[in-house]
Every structure is written in structure tokens, then in C-alpha cells.
Structure 1
Amino acid sequence: MRIGLKEKIGYGIGDVGFNFYWANISAFLLIFYTDTMGLPAAAVGTMILITKIIDAFTDPAMGAIADRTKSRFGKFRPYLLFAAVPMAAAGVLTYTTPDLGEGGKLIWAYGTYSLMMLMYTILSTPYSALSGVITANSQDRTTLISFRFIAAFTGTTLVNYFTLDMVKWFGHGDDKLGWQLTMAAYGVAAAIMFITVFFTTRERISPPREQKSAVMGDIRDLLDNRPWLVLFALALIIMTTIVMRAGASVYYMKYYVGQADLTGAFLAVYSIALAIGAACTPLMTRFIDKKKLMMLLMAAVGVLSCVMVFVPKDAIWLMFGINTLIGFFLGPKSPLAFSMFADTADYTEWKTGRRATAMTFAAATFSQKLGGAIASAVIAWMLAAMGYVANEAQSGASQLGIVLLLTVIPGAIALIAAFVMRLYTLDDETLARVQTELLARKSKV
């Protein structure tokens, strides 16, 4: 069954809500901790990475819970209805600066950030898995997920462009209050969007009726699924590139270029390019195999990122131009990867007779969050090592570190991603055979 435009838009709008959180984490959480809460950069980097240990357990646990959920609303949709408000509260707490000493603030950061990411997992794992059960058509999946990431990059654009101004407007000079109220506004808007997903989508694909599998069996199935393993590594590597570029951009414009007022425009134009790239994905996949397309895109991102290191700080138009091209080539990555994750769920069912859609996406989500945490930690540790001092003019070494974090380092990581993609075996021809055989099996039941 082909799905309609209303359902595609309804599903996609959920990722605007998710990016009211994720885009803030990627671009602004680190600088909030260092420049507003006043925490040491190195301590923040360590905190962000250590909290991923919790995700190592909560992501697959949530996947297992969602796969085994039974309700009249389906397996995945109920979580979008009931977890929206707690997510909003966790976001406000994370961006709250308590009246404590440095040690107390750091403990607060550990606790609230962990809570926010737990709530994010409870919402995002079922949401991602939902894309794998709305339709079985591979091209429709790519289109559906492209709608999702067009919405995601729209949310990212809004966050990147308006957040710092919202903080100033709500705070009236008090950034601590400004961040709280900004996240409250985002939380209310996101909750409305999550509930919209609940009311506009349907779950159409179910596991085989006779399926009875333990959680460890689901995990073993994933570890025995080579295409999924490649995507797991790829998601980690590429998310490291994306978050490193987003997080470093704020420092780059403020401390290297010396024009902090251009940060919103710099990130917003980049986000628009990401959205355009995502929108072009279904067209690209009609002519180029997903595997080859991903390799070409990541190679282009790697080369352009490395070229950007040579752009002088006063060449604003050239800086914006190269960054926009990088955004366009990075844009298709997300819809491609998530469409391919849904394909690997089909592959597992074809190979084993068992299907664990949420577990497939939960482990993928963990990979992305780990990649984002690694990126933020590397930024924080490198800033500390180069002598970064918040809200002060930076030394030459510190400025060099900031430039490398936006250019050569993520560029090299993107080139590694292009190489890793060579190991992916589920090309279009193989996938077509898998889905044809699955359809034949189900028609016999």
C-alpha cells in the first residue's frame, strides 16, 4: 500500500520537535555549559561522553520494550503521546543553572543531561522504528524518511537561527533565565508535534505471528547482520562529523572570525542546505544505488571540509559558500541511513524469520548519540588543551584548534565514512530479492 502526503507530513513533523532538542545539544549545549553555567571545558567533555554509558543500556532496553508493546494504538505510537510533556520538563532542567558551586553544577549537569537523554530515548526510539512499519515499499520508505529529515533540518534551521536571539529576548540580559524560557517554549512546541505524529500515522507491518524471541536473541540477530553492523559504524562516524561541525561553528564565528552576530545566519544557511540535500534524496536514489550515493556524498564532504581550512577569517562569502555546499552534501546522509536501517530490519526477518524493528533503530540511535558525544567531548578536550578561556580573546593555539575542529578533523572523519561504506553488502538488487521473498512468504500465511 502506498502512503499519502498527509501521513508523510504528519510523520515528518515529529522531527522538527526532536531537533528543538538535538540541534540545541549539537550547536549550543557545550557553549551553554562553558560560557553560561561556567563549567570547565574538559570536565564538560568528559561528562558528555560518560553519560553515553547510560545510553548503552537504555537504548537497546527501550528498543526491546517498544518491540514487545501491545496496545490498541500499536507498538510505537503510544510513546509519542505519553512522553512528550516529561521530555519538555527534562529539557528545561538541563538548561537550568543552579545556584551552586562548580562541583554542584557539574553534578547537576550529569543528572539533568542524563535525564534529558533518557526521555529523548523513550520518544525517539519508537519514532524511528515507526518509519519501518508504516510501509514496506523501499522507495516509499526513502520518501517518508526524506520528509522526516526535511522537517528535521527545518527544526535545526529554526534552532540555529533563533535560539541565541530568543535567549537574549527572554532573558533581558540574564542568559540563565533566557535559556530556561527558551527551552520551555521549544518543549511546548515539540510536545504538540509529537502528539500530531500519533494522530496522523498508522502501523501496518507486524512481526511474523509465530515469532517468539528473547531480547538477547534480537541483539544476536543484529550482531549477525553485516549490513546493519556497517551502518552502525557509519552512523557513529558521520554523526561525529555533523555534531563536531555544528558545535565548533559557534566557537568559530565567535572567537576566530570575531563576528558572533553572524552565528545564527551561518548555521541557518547551513541547515537550509541540509534540508535541500535531504529533499533531493528520493530523486538521487532513483538514479544512484544507496551505497554508491553515500560514498560519493561523504567523499565530497571530506574534501570540502579540508579545503575550508584555507579560507581566511575575513572571506565571509567564501566561508558561507563552502559551508553551504558541505551542508547540501551532508543532507541526504540522514534519510539514506535511516532508510537503510529499515532495509536491514527486512534483511534480519528474511535471514532469521524474526523481526525486531525498534531494536534495530534503538541500537542505531545509540550509535548516533555516541558519535555526537564523541564529537562534543573532542571539541571540549581540544579547547581545554589549546588554552581556551570562556568569553575572552583566544590565543593563537586556541584559534587554530577551533579552525581544525570545523574543517580538517571532521573532513578526515567523513573520508573514513566513505571508505567504511564500501563494506555494505545490501545493495539495491539484493534488497529487491529480499523483499520479494518476504512478500511471498507472507502471502502463503
Structure 2
Amino acid sequence: MTQRRLGIVEKIGFGMGDAGNNMTFAAVVMYLSYFYTDVYGISPAVVGTIFLSMRFVDAITDPLMGALADRTRSRWGRFRPYLLFVPVPLAVACVLMFTTPEWSGTAKIAYAFATYFIMSLLYTAVNIPYCALGGVITDDHRERVSFQSWRFILVGVAYLILNSGLMPLVEWIGGDDEAKGFQYSMTIMSAIGLGMFLFCFLTVRERVHPTPTQHDRLAAKLKALAMNLKWRIVLGVTFLQALQFFLRQGAAIYFATYVLGFGTLGISAFITSGALASIAGTALSPRLSRRISKRKVFQASTLALIAASCLLFLVPGQWAIVASLIFVLVSFMHGVGAPISWALMADAEDYGEWKTGQRNTGVSFAGNLFFLKMGLAVSGGMIGLLLSWGGYQANVDQQSDSALLVISLLLTLIPAIVCLLMFWATYLFGLNDDDMDEVRAALQQRRPDDGTPSPAADPASGEASAYT
């Protein structure tokens, strides 16, 4: 199958889907920990426990959702229907998560856990099909970097809306009642997200289809995926990238507030500048990837991110402008690498089809999303537990030196160490663009004209071991 280049409307439409996701998900990443500790009144240790406990549920629900999506047959395809029907209950769950009933301590914790649990299940039900959609829009691995870049550009727009609008909106609507401000502001943000999901559903198409004869059993799908070394490596990359990103995002509001001493507008400007820089890096990523192998671009941006993070740690809190500029650089470098990691996931899926003859897109991307959420959970747990260990106190004018040190480490050196591991993982991945050109050519020769996968390569031919 020779795939035409995608139109700009479809690329924007695909990006709108993740923008819709992040009208809720980015709020969880950036503000839920702060909301729980400083508005709802739950201790940081309990917050960390809530975040971590949900991941045990995800270990079961994510692959089941991936298998369900793979088995879905409708006139809209396998994955698009979930973008139409799930976002409404997800929006309601998000508003309830940012609602603060006047209950006792134990009941408050139970409510927080229940609403976070429901929101996470619904997020799984829409985001796994959405992520899998990125593997079936086209089989051109360079086009994948392009439309994944649009995805992260529009995710950046969602972050901008939240960063620049949420806290001022909370203050404007709620006044002295911050709880009311969060509840009504998240209602507005969730409504915007619904429109983004609808635009994605209407503009994106599925073109790479599974063979009707391949196994639908979950155990068989997992066995086929387990044979794919590249998929396993990409799962590690996904976890590490999510961990370093969510650590920075979760710590940013604390860093801007207590280390740099910014007020409401300063905090919004600090986080917004990072989001703009990330968008700029993402926009540049396809251009770099066309000139240089996308894996090498990812590795170079990771090294630069490590260096900038270490430099940010050394900057005194009084140098707020310098610190903000370095934070912009860190965000820019993350933006360069972000779309490439998801393109590598689709490459790993093509590699697995080439090796085994099985295309299990839903389960494959479910594994990727599970490890992304593991990165979110571990980062949330680390932030809560380390803040508690450092003696963080909510709603005080000045934190202790130990708390300030922990906040700085969460934004700088700890993510830098994680990035070093991520660099090593991408080195092990091994597949460059020339390798993927050969894999794609082999798949096109073996697929029927309708684009469905054909049986695996004959190991005796040498094909199946060429990229192990």
C-alpha cells in the first residue's frame, strides 16, 4: 500500500483529539496534586497513595480496553467510535474530581479516590483508542512524525488554555472560594475538550486494517507483542519520558510559587512560557526528522534537556528571570522529542507485524498508555512523598530549606537522571529511518491491495532477524 500524504485538516483533527484529552489530563498533571493538598485538604502522602493505587487497576483495564478496541467493528472503524461516545461522561467525571464536598476526613479521601478512579477508567476508554488511531492513519513513518507533531502542538495549545486561563479563571469565578473556582473553571475547560473530541472524530480516518484471520484472543495478542523486543524497549522509553515530564510539570507550580516567589500572574506566565517553548520545539521536530534520523534527533534533544536541567538546578532562586529562561529551554527540548517517541511506538508496531504477521494496534498502544500512566502515577507519588519527606506545608508564605531543595530537585536533577536512562533506552531501540524504510517496503509487498497484514516473514530467509 502506497500512502498519500495526509492533508492539513486531518493532521489538525488528529491533534485535536489529544488536545481534548489534555483538557482533563493536563489538569490532573499540573493542578490535581495542588488541588488535593492546598484546596481539598488531603495530606501529600495520601495524594501519592491515591495516584499510585490506580495503576494496579490500569494493569488489568488497559490491555482489556486495547483488546476491546481491536475487536470493535463499526461503520466508523475500530477506534473512532470511542471519540464520539466516551468524552461526555469523562467531562462529567473530571468536574466531579475537582468538586469538594464538605465531608469528614475519611469520607473526603474516599470521595477523592472514587472520582479519580472513575475519571481514570473513562480516560482509558477514550485515550487507548485515540492513541491506537495514530497507528492506523498511515503506514508512512515520516508522516507519523508530522501528524504526531500536530498532536503535540495542539496539546500545547490545550496546556496554554489551562496554564494561562485556569488559575486566573479560578480566582475570577471563585474569589475567596478557591474550591468553587476550580469546580466551575473545570466545567468550562471540559466543555472545550468535548468540542475538540468531536472535531477529531469528524476529520480523521482509519486506513491500516488488520487481517480478518488473525487471532482475537488477548493471550495470543500479548504473546505476539511479548516477542517484539522493539515494543518492549519503547514501553520503557514511554515510561521514562512520562516520568521526567510529569515530575517537572507537577513540580512547576511549587517551584514558581515558593522557589521563585511568583504570584498568580507570575505562575501563569512561568508555566505558559514553558508550554509555548514546547510547542515551538514540537513544530521544529518534523523538519529536523526529515534531515536526520528521528531517533538521533530524539537522542540529541534528550542530551540537551539533561544539560539544561542541571543548569537550572544551579541557578539561585533570586535569579527568577534566568531560571525562567532556562525552564523555557528545557521545555523546548522536551517538545522536540515528544512526537518522535510516539512515532517510534508506531514503528515498533510495524516491526512487530513484519516479524509475526500480527497487527495488534489497540493492545500495543494500550501497553504504551499504561506505561505512560505509570510514569504519571510514579511522578505523582514521588512528588507527594518527597514533599512530605522534605517538610512541605500547604498554604504558608515560606517553605523550609529542605522543602525548597526537594522542590528544586523534582524540577531539575531527578528528571535529568531519568532522561539519562531514556537516552540509553533509545540507543538500544536501534531502528533508524533507513531500517524502517526497508520494513515498510517489505510490508507493502506482503500486504494485499486493501492494506491488511499478511503472514510473517520466513525466518529462513533472514528477513525476520535483520533488525533484532
Tell me, yes or no, whether TM beats 0.5.
yes
2:297 aligns with one of 278, 293, 302: 293
User: Post-superposition shift, 1:340?
Assistant: 1.1
**Equivalent in the alignment of 1:430:** 435
**Equivalent residues of 1:302, 1:415 under 8 A apart:** yes
In the other structure, the counterpart of 2:335 is: 331
Shift of 1:426: 2.3
1:306, 1:412 within 8 Å by CA — same for their partners in 2? Answer: no
1:405 paired to 2:410: yes
- Structure 1 unaligned regions, length at least 5: none
Question: CA offsets per residue over residues 277-307 of structure 1, 9 Å max, x none?
Answer: 1111111111221222222111111111111
- Structure 1 residue 229 corresponds to structure 2 residue 226: no
Give TM-score, length-normalised by structure 1.
0.98
Deviation at residue 5 of structure 1 after TM alignment: 1.1
Give the whole-Å Cα distance in 1 for the aligned partners of 2:350 and 2:142: 14
Whole-Å separation in 1 of the counterparts to 2:309 and 2:78: 41
Partner of 2:309: 305
**Deviation larger for 203-212 or 360-369:** 203-212
Q: How far is the alpha carbon of 1:259 from its aligned partner?
A: 1.4
* Native 8 Å contact 1:301 1:330 kept in 2: yes
Matches within 5 A, 1:197-208: 197-208=200-211
After TM superposition, give the deviation of residue 399 of structure 1 in Å: 1.1
Displacement, 1:322? 0.6
Equivalent position of 2:172 in the other structure: 169
State the alpha-carbon separation in 1 of the partners of residues 391 and 263 from structure 2. 20
CA distance in 1, matches of 2:263, 2:281: 26
Residue 242 (structure 1) aligned with residue 245 (structure 2): yes
Pick from 416, 421, 428 the counterpart of residue 426 of structure 2.
Answer: 421
Note the 1:116-195 alignment, pairs <5 A: 116-195=119-198
SS at match of 2:145: helix
Are 1:4 and 2:14 matched, yes or no? no
1:34-183 equivalences under 5 Å are 34-183=37-186
- 1:274 maps to a residue whose letter is S
Residue equivalent to 1:283: 287
Q: Once the 2 structures are TM-superposed, how far is the Cα of residue 260 of structure 1 from its aligned partner? A: 3.0
Q: Provide the C-alpha distance between the structure 2 equivalents of 1:290 and 1:58, rounded to a whole number of angstroms.
A: 32
Q: Distance in 2 between matches of 1:279 and 1:398?
A: 36
State the 1:89 CA deviation: 0.4
Match of 1:254 among 252, 257, 260: 257
Query: What whole-Å deviation, never above 9, does each CA across 1:199-255 have from its counterpart, x for those lacking one?
Result: 111111101232223111111222211111111011111111111111111111112
What is the TM-score with the length of structure 2 in the denominator? 0.93
AA aligned opposite 2:113: Y
Tell me the amino acid that sits aligned with residue 362 of structure 1. Answer: A
Contact 1:23 1:160 (8 Å CA) reproduced = no
Pairing 1:440–2:445 present: yes
Structure 2 gaps of 5+ residues are 455-468
Partner SS state of residue 134, structure 2: helix
Deviation per CA, 1:356-403, whole angstroms, max 9, x where unpaired? 111111110111111011111111101101111100121111111111
User: What do the CA deviations read for 1:97-145 (whole angstroms, capped 9, x no partner)?
Assistant: 1111121111111111011111111111111111111111111111111
Deviations 1:57-94 (CA, angstroms, capped at 9, x unpaired): 11111110001000111101111111111010010111
What is the CA distance between 1:438 and its match in structure 2? 0.7
| Contact 1:301/1:329, CA 8 A, preserved across alignment | yes
Q: CA deviation at 1:443?
A: 4.0
Map of 1:342-381 to 2, 5 A cutoff?
342-381=346-385
- Identity, % of aligned pairs? 36
Deviating above 6 A after TM superposition, structure 1's stretches of 4 or more consecutive aligned residues are none
Letter of the 1:400 partner, please give it. Answer: L
Q: Deviations over 1:5-29 (max 9, x none)?
A: 1111111112221111121111111
In the TM superposition, what is the alpha-carbon distance from 1:186 to its structure 2 partner?
1.2
Matched residues, number: 445
C-alpha distance in 2 between matches for 1:412 and 1:246: 16
1:317 and 2:321 aligned: yes
Code of the residue aligned with 2:412 in structure 1: it is T
> Greater shift after overlay, 221-230 or 76-85?
221-230
8 A contact 1:271–1:327 mirrored in 2: yes
Matched residue type, 1:369: K
1:27 maps to which of 25, 30, 35: 30
User: Does the CA contact (< 8 Å) of 1:63 and 1:361 recur in 2?
Assistant: yes
